[in-house]
Amino acid sequence: MQTTMKSFKTNQLYQLTLTHFLETVREPEVLFWGIIFPVLISIGLGLAFLQPSVSKFHLMLVENNRTELDNLLDHFAEAGKMEGRDVLKWTIPDATLGDTEFSFERSDWHSAIVALKRGEADVIISDSLGKVQYHFDPRNEQAQLVYMKLSSVLQSADLELKTNPTNIAPLTLKGVRYIDFLVPGLIAFGIMSSIMWGMSYTLIERRSQKLLRRMVATPMKKSNFIFAMMFVRIVMNLVEAVILFVAMWAIFGIHIQGNIGALFVLFLAGNVAFTGIAVLISCRTSKTEVGTGWINAVQMPMMLLSGIFFSYHHFPEWSLGVIRALPLTALADGIRSIFNEGAGWIEILAPSLALSLFGVICFAVGMKVFKWY
């Protein structure tokens, strides 16, 4: 009798396991997001990061008169490649560690500082009273690497342009530190993440539980339900952003150098854009596994590419046009320009309109085909 019961339980476990397995493999969406999508993400990131090993460094040259900086460019001009009158690219081949490419660009001090704040440049080299100086945030590891590599190259070439620690003029201006770059990106990322999970996943989960069908049966205007969720997310995002800013202001002394009103308008535009995306990707899906896949498919590429934690200018040049077109990139760049560059209404007008228009279009399409049951 005991043997029969044991056999019955074993067979029961086998049948249940087989049933659940068959249910899983019969869902193509689950297989795609669980197996194929991670492979596609790995291939995409591999193509983006595993390019031929070339370390690219961008340096801004600020000078008033002809100085040793010109001697540097004259020395490299024959081996390098001039791109216009003010940009020289010089590549040092190295089969063991990978090639190193230095890009030297002439600029004025203001433009050089802006490039540094945006992550477009790593180090500023200037002539101060006839003395060459390197300007960068000493806590920026990338900038330190650029300085050490260039110093090594110059010393090995025995050029007249000598490098030593006294040539370093540390930049401690607000807006050029890494924390000044990071916080606006985190605010933008928080807006996207909060809306994508707070709206998309909630809508999909309620549809899967048949709750949307019950709400539609009430005398409720459908659009009001979505608007209510959006207003709640905007308020929550605003509270989260304010808390983050206050904490970083108290600890690191970051400041908003631009127009507060323009920042609020851009903030609302970002919320509108991601609300539209959230409604669009959740308009038909009724399975939470598929919904999670869609959310990750939208969120992960932008999180990695849009320059939240590091500058997207380190990606290959052929990809920068696509990266700049991403909603999160436009939002993060706009917030950074207000925080660190003193941007106002004129500077944020284009990104705000683009984000709002994109969000409205996605919202309209999503509501047109929205499935409430």
What pLDDT does residue 338 have?
92
For each of the domains in the chain, give its residue range(s) and CATH number, in order of start. 54-170 (3.40.190), 178-368 (no CATH)
Mean pLDDT value of segment 243-266: 90
Mean pLDDT value of segment 349-354: 94
Q: What is the mean pLDDT of the chain?
A: 78
Q: Are strands 168-170 and 131-136 parallel, antiparallel or unpaired?
A: parallel
What pLDDT does residue 269 have?
95
- Percent of the chain's residues with pLDDT above 90: 18
Most confident among 157-161, 232-236, 274-278 (mean pLDDT): 274-278
DSSP at 79: T
What pLDDT does residue 52 have?
53
Q: Which has the closest alpha carbon to 57: 194, 184, 150?
A: 150
Banded model confidence at residue 163, pLDDT cuts 50, 70, 90: very low
At which residue do the structure tokens 């046009």 appear?
A: 321
What pLDDT does residue 264 have?
94
Give residue 187's identity as a one-letter amino acid code: I
Q: Which has the closest alpha carbon to 370: 279, 295, 278?
A: 279
Q: Which has the closest alpha carbon to 200: 282, 271, 127?
A: 282
Q: Are strands 123-128 and 131-136 parallel, antiparallel or unpaired?
A: antiparallel
What pLDDT does residue 192 have?
92
Q: Which has the closest alpha carbon to 346: 261, 274, 268?
A: 261
The model's pLDDT over 314-328, given as tens digits with 9 standing for 90+, comes to 777 778 888 889 999
Most confident among 5-19, 152-166, 264-278, 300-314 (mean pLDDT): 264-278
